[in-house]
């Protein structure tokens, strides 16, 4: 698979759109992650390990750093699963890990994402990832026998 653009951080426009959704209640973040074979700490050499490590190992360091801040903000990890090639989607596309993270509210997520102590460890995420996607999900209630309707 050849992807000419990696997506590692939200754009300002995407952040504005997320905020403008006025999400009420909890939000679940679907993370799709593709790791580098060898983590790249060139942007943060002071935090680089003594020997090269895999992108997956660098991501484990990121999660070890992140979990206390995530949980303190009202969030938690719901699911972590190994990925692979898509069953439905572009041939040759693969995601190494899928992660579902719940936050009690969009405001809690934004506070977490702006926490300076949390941000100090995000270099491990940057070193680890070749590409990523982050999709905010909100609850969609299905009634028994009802036809699903989407609301924005």
Residue pLDDT, tens place only, 38-55:
999 999 999 999 999 999
Q: Is the pLDDT of residue 17 over 70?
A: yes
Residue 101 is predicted with a pLDDT of 97
Token readout for 149 is 């309707």
pLDDT digits (tens, 9 = 90+) for 103-115: 999 999 999 999 9
Can you tell me the distance from the alpha carbon of 47 to that of 123, in angstroms, rounded to the nearest whole number?
8
The count of structural domains within the chain is: 1
> How far is C-alpha 60 from the geometric centre of its chain's CA atoms?
13
Question: What CATH number does the domain containing 108 carry?
Answer: 3.30.70.100
Token readout for 4 is 């000419």
Domain membership flag for residue 82? yes
105 and 28 in contact (C-beta within 8 Å)? no
Residue 140 is predicted with a pLDDT of 82
Q: Residue 98 burial by CB count (10 A; 0-12/13-18/19+): exposed, middle or buried?
A: middle
pLDDT digits (tens, 9 = 90+) for 106-141: 999 999 999 999 999 999 999 999 999 999 999 887
Domain membership flag for residue 129? yes
**Considering the chain, what percentage of its residues have pLDDT values greater than 90?**
78
Can you tell me the distance from the alpha carbon of 78 to that of 80, in angstroms, rounded to the nearest whole number?
7
Can you tell me the distance from the alpha carbon of 105 to that of 138, in angstroms, rounded to the nearest whole number?
10
Prediction pTM value = 0.87
Band of the pLDDT at 146, cuts 50, 70, 90?
Answer: low
Can you tell me the distance from the alpha carbon of 112 to that of 12, in angstroms, rounded to the nearest whole number?
17
Range(s) of the domain holding residue 84: 31-137
Alpha-carbon Rg for the chain, nearest whole angstrom, is 17
């Amino acid at each position: 698979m050849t992807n000419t653009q990696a997506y590692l951080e939200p754009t300002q426009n995407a952040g504005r759109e997320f905020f403008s959704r006025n999400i009420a209640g909890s939000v679940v973040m679907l993370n799709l992650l593709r790791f580098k074979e060898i983590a790249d700490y060139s942007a943060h050499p002071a935090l680089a390990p003594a020997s090269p490590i895999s992108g997956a190992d660098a991501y484990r360091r990121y999660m070890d750093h992140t979990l206390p801040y995530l949980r303190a903000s009202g969030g938690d990890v719901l699911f972590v699963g190994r990925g692979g090639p898509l069953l439905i989607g572009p041939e040759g596309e693969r995601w190494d890990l899928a992660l579902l993270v719940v936050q009690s509210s969009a405001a809690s997520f934004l506070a977490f994402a702006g926490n300076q102590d949390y941000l100090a460890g995000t270099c491990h995420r940057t070193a680890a990832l070749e590409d990523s996607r982050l999709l905010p999900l909100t609850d969609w209630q299905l009634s028994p026998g009802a036809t699903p309707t989407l609301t924005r």
